[in-house]
A = this chain, B = another copy of it.
Amino acid sequence: MTTRADPPMFDAAFQAKLALLIAWRRDVRRFRDEAVPQAMLDHLLDLVQLSPSVGNSQPWRIVSVTQKARRAAIRANFEQANAAALQSYQGERAALYARLKLSGLDIAPVHWAIFCDHATRQGQGLGTATMPEMLDASVSGMIATLWLAARAQGLGLGWVSILDPRAATATLDVPSDWKLIAYLCIGWPQEEHADPELVRFRWQNRTLAGRQVLER
């Protein structure tokens, strides 16, 4: 890549469309049973390499889960964790939880497990001596970038965190220094929505708690 060569201009129309993209990104759990072209996935994989990372460490490691037995094990893992979570709620809240669809593991054509390589030497430790969690944070930032880029292509992404991460890591047989950050379902959404499913199904409204800025 070149340096200081013709920086692009991002005009008001683009800024407005970017705001729409951010507003219409969703955590998708309801997918159509339809494949995603490999070229589209390759494009996304290329793009997210440009995500920010501490010390330019690029610590994300991507596992594409395609084997039937492994997908079944991940799904059983989710179902067990989800049943345990249901037990932790009572009354109306438990009934509400039971009605939520919390993963797209059943239909999503693409399953990506995203790990952080804690053994990487890339970046030479810059920025991680004081805050070692910066490696994991870099991977989470990459996923947020992927989420937006996927949505711009019309693809839905769902982040499944109702999983025992140790069991999922064992299922996927990865190097021992890799930490599971996310298990992602990717595919074509059945519907588009401007509001999160957890709002629509009355689990949790948006609030302004995180919009208050504390002055110091």
Contact = CB atoms under 8 A, between A and B. Distances in A.
Given A85-B129, A193-B4, A56 B17 contact: no
Given A140-B141, A210-B58, A192 B4 contact: yes
Contact of A3 (B144, B165, B193): B193
Count copies of this chain in the complex: 2
A50 to B, nearest CB: 5
Contacts of A192: 4, 7
Interface string A40-55: 0000011111111011
Nearest to A191: B4
Contacts of A122: 204, 207, 209
A64 B20 CA distance: 26
A178 B51 CA distance: 26
Contacts of A211: 45-46, 49
A194 B124 CA distance: 22
Contact of A141 (B47, B48, B141): B141
A210 B145 contact: no
A22 B175 CA distance: 29
Contacts of A125: 88
Interface in A165-216: 165, 172-174, 181-182, 191-196, 198-200, 203-216
Given A144-B144, A163-B130, A209-B58, A182 B137 contact: yes
Interface in A7-42: 7-8, 10, 14-15, 17-25, 27
Given A122-B204, A149-B22, A214 B63 contact: yes
Contact of A210 (B15, B62, B131): B62
Interface of A: 1-5, 7-8, 10, 14-15, 17-25, 27, 45-52, 54-67, 70, 81, 84-85, 88-89, 93, 97, 102, 113, 117, 120, 122-131, 133-134, 136-138, 140-145, 147-149, 151-154, 159, 161-165, 172-174, 181-182, 191-196, 198-200, 203-216
